[in-house]
Amino acid sequence: MQYNISHPTKKINALLKLPTSKSISNRLLIIRALSGHNFPIHQLSNSDDTRVLLDALALKQPIIDVGAAGTSSRFLTAFLSITKGEWELRGSERLHQRPIKILVDTLQQLGADIHYKEQPGFLPLIISGKSVEGGEVNISGGISSQFISALLMIAPVLQNGLSVQIEGELVSKPYVQMTLSLMNDFGIEHTWKDNRITIANQAYKSLSYTVEADWSAASYYFSMAALAKQSKLLLDGLFPQSLQGDQAIQQIAAPLGIRSFFMQNWLHLIKAQPSTQHLRYDFTECPDLAQTTVVLCAALGVPATFTGLQTLRRKETDRIAALQNELAKVGVTFDSEDDVHFNVKGQVEMPDQVPVFKTYEDHRMAMSFAPLALVLPAIIIEDPMVVSKSHPQFWEHLKAMGFEVQV
C-alpha cells in the first residue's frame, strides 16, 4: 500500500494529543512483571512495540514472537532468562539480522542458560529460565543502550545483584538514566560512580504510574511547524521535566525556526525565521531524532554536519543508507568522508514525477519524510502503516492538520 500525501494550503493550525512514550511504557511493563505486583499503568502506549511486549509478558505460550519489536526482544531476553520455564524468543526476518550476542554473552556470564536456535549471535534464542546469581560484568558503552537497560532492570532480582562496568563512551545515555530513574521510583537504589553502575538485590515496590507523551513523536510536528507557510501547533501530554532525552528536539529546532514553550500544560510551537547558516549537532544522546533533523535541514536548505550517528546502521534498517537513498530522489546528498561526520548538502527539489519514498520497515522513515508534503506539491509514502510501531494515530493527525492522505 502507498499513501499520496499533499497539503493544499501549506498552512497548519491544530491542537494534538500525542501518543505516550513507548520507551517508558516498555520499561514499566518489565518493572511490573519483575515486581510481582499488578500495579496500574495509566496511559500505556498503544504502539505495536508495547502491545507485543504486553502480550509476551502474559507468558501464555513457550514460543514468543515479537515481530519487529527490537526493544521488546532485548528486554525479554534478560527477563526470560530469570523467569522459570523453557522459552523460544524470535521475531521478524529483519530482527533476526540484528546482533544480540553481547547481551547474550553477558547474561551467560552471569549464569543464564541461553542458546542460539539458528545462527550464533542472533535470534531466535532458546532460553531456560532460572534463578541467576548475578555479579560483575564489563560491557561496551558503544552498544545499544537497550542492552544495558535490560540488564539493569533484572539486577535487583539477581541473587547477588549486579555491577556493570561501562567501557568507553556511553551511547544514548539518557535512556540508561531513564531506566534508573524509573527503577528508583519503584524503590530500587543504585550507585553510579565513574563508569560503574551497581545495584544490590532488593525488591521492587508497587506504585500507580502515568506515562508521559513521547518526545520522539513530537519531533515530527516540530518539523511540520518549521516547513509550513504558517503554523501554530499545540501539543498535549508532554512534561517540561521529562525523563526522555529526545526533549532535545526543542534545542535542535530553535535555530531552524521553531519557538517552543509550555503554557497551561500545552507545548506551543510557533514558526519563526531560521537563525543558523550551518547546523551542527551530536546525536550521541538522542539518535532517534536524527532522521527528523536530517530531512528538516534538507527541506529548509540549511547545510548541516552531524555526529553521533554510529547506532543508526543497526536500527530497524540501516538508517544512514536509507536516508541517503531517499534524499537523493529529491536532489539532496547526505554523505560522510570518515563515517563519523555526516553532511547534509542541497535543498529538496521536486523531481519530474511525484517522489515515492520507501520506508524500509522503519516507522521513523515514514514520519520523517511525511512533512516534505509541505514543501513539495505531493509525495508518496510506501508501506505507510509502519507508523503503528510507535505512533498509530500519525496519519489521522495529519488529516486533522489539513493534509490530504489518499490510498
pLDDT over threshold 90, residue 398: yes
Q: Which of 65, 214, 246, 288 is catalytic?
A: 288
In this prediction, residue 341 has a pLDDT band, given cuts at 50, 70 and 90, of very high
In this prediction, residue 47 has a pLDDT band, given cuts at 50, 70 and 90, of very high
Coil, strand, or helix at residue 96? helix
pLDDT, tens digit (0-9, with 9 covering 90-100), for 153-165: 999 999 999 999 9
Coil, strand, or helix at residue 261? strand
pLDDT for res 172: 86
Q: Residue 288 catalytic? A: yes
Q: Name the strands in the sheet holding 258-263, side by side, starting at the edge strand that comes first in the sequence.
A: 11-17, 230-236, 266-271, 258-263
pLDDT, tens digit (0-9, with 9 covering 90-100), for 100-115: 999 999 999 999 999 9
pLDDT for res 171: 86
pLDDT for res 244: 96
Alpha helices in 127-257 (DSSP H): 145-154, 173-185, 215-227, 249-253
pLDDT for res 315: 76
- Domain 22-210 indexed as CATH 3.40.50.2300: no
pLDDT for res 62: 96
CA nearest neighbour of 177 among 210, 200, 148: 148
Coil, strand, or helix at residue 167? strand
pLDDT, tens digit (0-9, with 9 covering 90-100), for 130-153: 999 999 999 999 888 999 999 999
In percent, the amount of the chain with pLDDT more than 90 equals 94
Cα Rg, the chain, nearest whole Å: 21
pLDDT for res 311: 86
Distance, in Å, from the CA atom of 88 to the CA atom of 309, rounded to the nearest integer, reads: 32
pLDDT, tens digit (0-9, with 9 covering 90-100), for 55-95: 999 999 999 999 999 999 999 999 999 999 999 999 999 89
pTM: 0.93
Q: Would you identify the CATH topology of the domain 2-19+213-406? A: UDP-n-acetylglucosamine1-carboxyvinyl-transferase; Chain (3.65.10)
pLDDT, tens digit (0-9, with 9 covering 90-100), for 26-39: 999 999 999 999 99
Asked whether this chain's domains 2-19+213-406 and 22-210 adopt the same fold, the reply is yes
Delimit the domains of the chain by residue range.
2-19+213-406, 22-210
The CA-based dihedral angle spanning residues 277, 283, 285, 287, taken in that order and rounded to the nearest 10 degrees: 130
pLDDT, tens digit (0-9, with 9 covering 90-100), for 284-320: 999 999 999 999 999 999 999 999 998 888 777 899 9
Mean pLDDT of 362-378: 97
pLDDT for res 393: 96
* Cβ(34)–Cβ(149) below 8 Å: no
pLDDT, tens digit (0-9, with 9 covering 90-100), for 198-242: 999 999 999 999 999 999 999 999 999 999 999 999 999 999 999
Coil, strand, or helix at residue 6? strand
**62: exposed, middle or buried (C-beta count within 10 Å: 0-12, 13-18, 19+)?**
exposed
pLDDT over threshold 80, residue 246: yes
Looking at residue 256, the DSSP 8-state letter turns out to be G
Average of per-residue pLDDT values in the chain: 96
In this prediction, residue 337 has a pLDDT band, given cuts at 50, 70 and 90, of confident
Helices 145-154, 22-35: inter-axial angle, 10-degree rounding: 20
pLDDT for res 262: 96
